[in-house]
Structures are given as structure tokens and as C-alpha cells.
């Protein structure tokens, strides 16, 4: 996904947090790139380091269309279409970017191809910049 990193806040005791802007919204997210990276456009891969539990941190939404935003209490909310894959994993498609999810329990069949919102602590949603 192409993001515009607006601001990078770092401290010696915590990972860097980046304010990013996407075509689908803005959010503060953990930055796993260079802690001295200047603001600008970056291609990033998302990782989610949280157990996914239906009805707790992921649920169906009536809102159709991809989304990225900050939520209350230091959370990140990603909206996209969910696809269940072999082996119990799932993929969240946020505007053409695939984010691999590892459910704690099997997700319900009705979740397949549904619009969902995933809400995790921002330290559990990480961006890994890469060069094209």
C-alpha cells in the first residue's frame, strides 16, 4: 500500500509511531522502518500482531469500502473485505492490499467475502516500508 507518512514520533523506550495518510483515511500506526525516515510517500506492508476473534476485534460492518483510521484509546481500525483461506488463516483486503490475519478461533463462514472492521491496538498494527 502506498502511504504518505506525515509525522514520525519516536522515543528510546517505544517503537516509532507514524501518522500516515492513505487514500482511505489517516491513522497513527507502529513504524518498523528507519526511525529517522523523513516525511513522504512510502510503499508499506501491514502486519497485525494480534489474535483475531470474531465479535471482539473483528466484526461485520454495513459500511462498504476500504478504510483506515485511528480509533479511541490508541487503536487502529482497518475496513476491508475478508477472505478465509486454507489452514484457518484469513486475508483482509483493504483497497487492494492484502493483510494476513491469524484468527484465534475459526471465523464463521458468513465472514467470507464480507465487509468487516478490524480494531487493534496501534502497537499491534505495524507498517514495514519497502523499495519497489
Question: How many domains, the chain?
Answer: 1
Grid cell locating 7: 509525522
What digits encode the pLDDT tens for the residues 78-122?
999 999 988 889 999 999 999 999 999 999 988 999 999 999 999
Residues 88-113: b if buried by 16+ CB within 10 A, e if exposed:
eebebebbebebebebeeebeeebee
Grid cell locating 105: 478461533
CB 58 within 8 A of CB 52: yes
What digits encode the pLDDT tens for the residues 24-80?
999 999 999 999 999 999 999 999 999 999 999 999 999 999 999 999 889 999 999
CB 40 within 8 A of CB 31: no
Domain span holding position 68:
2-130
List CB contacts of 39: < 8 A, sequence separation 6 or more. 4, 5, 6, 7, 8
Amino acid at each position: 500500500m502506498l502511504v504518505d507518512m506525515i509525522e514520525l514520533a519516536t522515543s528510546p523506550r517505544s517503537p516509532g509511531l507514524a501518522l500516515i495518510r492513505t487514500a482511505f483515511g489517516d491513522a497513527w500506526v507502529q513504524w518498523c522502518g528507519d526511525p529517522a525516515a523523513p516525511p513522504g510517500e512510502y510503499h508499506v506492508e501491514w502486519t497485525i500482531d494480534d489474535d483475531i476473534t470474531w465479535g471482539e476485534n473483528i466484526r461485520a460492518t454495513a459500511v462498504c469500502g476500504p478504510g483506515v483510521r485511528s480509533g479511541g484509546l490508541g487503536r487502529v481500525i482497518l475496513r476491508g473485505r475478508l477472505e478465509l483461506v486454507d489452514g484457518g488463516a484469513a486475508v483482509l483486503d483493504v483497497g487492494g492490499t492484502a493483510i494476513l490475519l491469524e484468527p484465534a478461533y475459526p471465523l464463521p463462514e458468513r465472514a467470507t467475502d464480507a465487509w468487516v472492521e478490524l480494531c487493534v491496538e496501534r502497537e499491534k498494527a505495524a507498517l514495514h516500508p519497502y523499495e519497489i
